[in-house]
Amino acid sequence: MKIKSIDVRVLKVPLDEPYTAGGRAVGANWHVMAEVTTEDGVTGFGYIVALNELFIGTVATATRELAPLLTGMSVAEPEAAWRKLARAGDWIGPGGLLHYAIAPLDIAIWDAFGKSLNLPISRMLGGTRDRLPVYASDGFWYSLSLDELAASARRAAEAGFRAIKLRVGHEPLPEGEVRRVQAASDAAGPGVSIMVDATETWTVTRAIRTGKALQEAGVVWIEDPVSHTDIAGMARVAGSLDVPVATGEHLYGISDFTRLLEARATGVALIDLGRIGGVTPWRHVASMAHGFGVQVGGHVLPEIHVHLLSAVPNARVVEYVPRSAALLQTMPEIADGVLIVPSGGGFGLELDQDAVRRFTV
């Protein structure tokens, strides 16, 4: 299981329907992908996805510079590999660009480890279950009209989702946000839960006021109500609402999550695989959250998160944002509100090599 070679590439996957997120135009999903091949000829792959070209080349360069440090190590020692990379790059880390650069390598190592043993990662990490509730997250932008939002909600319900997440935070009054939730809920029909993501747009007082109106309207989680840098404010919002505050996707390390959890500022810790630096540290944060009685969720990359979340006892739900579907032969299957863990070795995913060639830049 010794690592023989590592390839790193940048891929640009153009979108059929560009959109705006956080005030920025998004026209493509940018990937930094690492492929790790062992001496026995097993190849694992991993990637991070960004919505913006800026720094993608820089991250790929950093990943390429780190990769040779892994030559000769075994894919059966991902923890040791992660520590070696983090230590080597600690001049610009921990966190930031270094974690993004490590993540594709770490994910690829786990994939190759699982493929070598022909075991799914979900089982290697604990095997708590083989499927998880999933929610639709793409296509509910705040820029949509109420009619467009309703159409989007109807499509998601028809596709088998039992939960959807709307972007909010841009209406002048709480009543406006409630109207958006109601339009989506009415269109999706009974049995479809509505979650909201305010993408850090509110002040604390505004978040509490709007959050109360939204929970009254039946919303089941409120994501990123205020800036992630305001942990005390986040804790005030969390303590004022009955529904959980979900947050954490902007955090880069276990110590950031320690502060968040100690402040009782979240009911669902969202762990971003790129920012945390891959599967290895993701597990540490998930375990710590379990100790605090806090659920965890992922952030994008559903095909990877379905494994990680299925493995841990405190998982809540997978966010379905299929940003890499065009690069894969198949995505995990959605059935009746759940995402099913692929049964193959590693992450159980295979690259579509034609697509990989086409999208490589």
Interface residues toward Mg ion, by CB under 5 A? 197
Q: Are the CB atoms for 307 and 344 separated by under 8 Å?
A: no
Closest approach of Cβ 223 to Mg ion, in Å? 5
Q: Which is nearer to Mg ion, 111 or 197 (CB)?
A: 197
Q: For the range 79-85, what are the long-range contacts, defined as Cβ-Cβ under 8 Å and sequence gap of 24 or more?
A: 79/280, 81/105, 81/106, 81/109, 81/280, 82/106, 82/277, 82/278, 82/280, 82/281
Closest approach of Cβ 30 to Mg ion, in Å? 18
Closest approach of Cβ 336 to Mg ion, in Å? 25
Residues, the chain: 361
Q: Which is nearer to Mg ion, 248 or 277 (CB)?
A: 248
Q: Which residue is nearest to Mg ion (CB)?
A: 197
Q: Are the CB atoms for 86 and 93 separated by under 8 Å?
A: yes
3-state DSSP assignment of residue 293: coil
- Residue 81: closest CA among 38, 126, 118, 33: 38
Q: Report CA-CA distances (Å) from 210 to 121, 142, 172, 178, 179.
A: 40, 15, 11, 8, 12
Q: Which is nearer to Mg ion, 30 or 140 (CB)?
A: 140
Closest approach of Cβ 248 to Mg ion, in Å? 9
Q: Which is nearer to Mg ion, 248 or 253 (CB)?
A: 248
Closest approach of Cβ 325 to Mg ion, in Å? 20
Q: Are the CB atoms for 222 and 211 separated by under 8 Å?
A: yes
Q: Which is nearer to Mg ion, 123 or 228 (CB)?
A: 228
Alpha helices in the chain (DSSP H): 56-66, 78-88, 96-117, 121-124, 146-158, 174-188, 204-216, 231-240, 254-262, 273-276, 279-291, 302-311, 353-359
Q: Which is nearer to Mg ion, 177 or 197 (CB)?
A: 197
Closest approach of Cβ 141 to Mg ion, in Å? 12
Q: Which is nearer to Mg ion, 112 or 306 (CB)?
A: 306
Burial 266-286 (b: 16+ CB within 10 A, else e): bbbbbbbbbbbbbbbbbbebb
- Residue 346: closest CA among 105, 124, 114, 142: 114
Q: Which is nearer to Mg ion, 115 or 165 (CB)?
A: 165
Closest approach of Cβ 135 to Mg ion, in Å? 12
- Residue 5: closest CA among 78, 105, 103: 105
Closest approach of Cβ 34 to Mg ion, in Å? 25
